[in-house]
Amino acid sequence: MTRRLLLALAGVLAVTPALAPRRAAAEADARPDAGVLAAVTAQEKPLRETLAELVNIDTGTGTVAGLARVEAILRARLEALGFTVDARPAPTFGGNTLVGTLKGGGSRRLMLLVHYDTVFGEGEAGKRPYTERDGRAYGPGVADAKGGIAVILHTLAALKTLGIPDLGTITVVFNPDEERGSRGSNAVIHGVAADQDAVLSFEPSFAVEEASDAATIATKGINYASLTVTGRSAHAGGAPETGRNAVTELAHQILQLQDLGDPGKGTSLHWTVVQGGTKSNIIPDQARAEGDMRYFEPGEYDRVLAEARRITQAHRVPDTQVAFGLTKGRPPLPANPETRALGERAQAIYREIGRDLRLVEIGGGTDAAYAFQPGSPGRPVVLESLGVVGGRYHSPEEFAVLDSIVPRLYLATRLVTQLAQPAGAGR
């Protein structure tokens, strides 16, 4: 991997004599920091060992024993790096949110964030332990987000090796319940982030099927829709006309509500769970549906709720009662100029090692949205998806790309150096 990266760098830095006068200034900005590159390259093998250790412990949300084992590992690793560590309970599903703080001499404040729970059940690590093959690492949570944990820990190790002066306060937050909405940790994330100049979040680079080398500059919020219909039961053969079919009315309402989304704004509402009836010979008196709403613009919550309640006043089955509800979940990380500017800085750093970094907006919600402070524009600036490059998340085929380790360490280390130093102190 190291040899391939250095060859790529050689190709980027090679300049023909004819082009040299025009490209000299551009190349000055594109050269890698040799000290940082050497420090993070030395962390590749240790990072893979850390990743294997983490992946081989079950930490599905609510798997308290496994979460406690990883929590102990993370605490020990942070303390060995000089951090003071505080554990704050996340009572909804169990486990603790770890908040590690390393106070430097500078005034800048930087937060590194990622979760240590996964979507996988107990016993999955035993069935599918960490493995490497064909340039990829596999195992439950290998990219989402244990790869992000490993990138944070080994970025900090590289920084310790480099001994960069004038770094400000660095805060690390590891939470145990992101995969269930961070219900027990979101207040801690929001509160700690409020005092930061910048927040870097280490979810993996998001992809549907194949790897995608990107950073995320906006994420959608998530709301949970509910639709409940109450009718009247009756014998389906003997006296169906005396009943009021709740399932029929539910189907009518779902069709009426199918255009609540707004593609132009990136808003969607999909009905994903439907329940109704008890027996085939009874006209059902109850039916309900659950839906998933995704959105970028905060005002979409109020619009969808108001429109849905207006629409559901029109019934197909008389004498039925219909109730529409919309519960707020994870907020969006909205597109904003500060995050885009930080993303462009990340792109420039990636170009130093001959790689391209896309800036994307995604439909999935992340804890970066809890770190964002909508009442304080521009502070902290938040950037997401700085973990490993991978794909097929939340599936048995989830993978992390091994060749992404050194580039991602380089990106994170350079970003931390720039953001945690006084303005103008670092290249």
Structural contact between residues 63 and 93, judged by C-beta atoms closer than 8 angstroms = no
- Catalytic residue, chosen from 33, 44, 124, 178, is 178
**Which residue in this structure is represented by tokens 């990743």?**
51
Alpha helices in 194-317 (DSSP H): 246-256, 300-311
- Report the distance separating Cα 268 and Cα 118, nearest Å: 26
Classified as helix, coil or strand, 205 is: strand
179 is catalytic: no
Q: How many beta carbons lie within 10 A of that of residue 102, not counting itself?
A: 20
The C-alpha angle 118, 227, 253, rounded to 5 degrees, equals 130
Helix (H, G, I), strand (E, B) or coil at 74: helix
Catalytic, out of 58, 117, 144, 179: 117
Instruction: Specify whether the CB–CB gap between 388 and 401 falls below 8 A.
Output: yes
Would you call 209 a catalytic residue per the annotation? no
> Residue 44 is inside which H or E element, if any?
helix 44-55
Is 167 within 8 Å of 174 (Cβ atoms)? no
> How many CB atoms within 10 Å of residue 226?
14
Kindly tell me the burial class for residue 167, based on how many C-beta atoms sit within 10 Å of its own C-beta (0-12, 13-18, 19 or more). Answer: buried
Active site residues: 117, 178
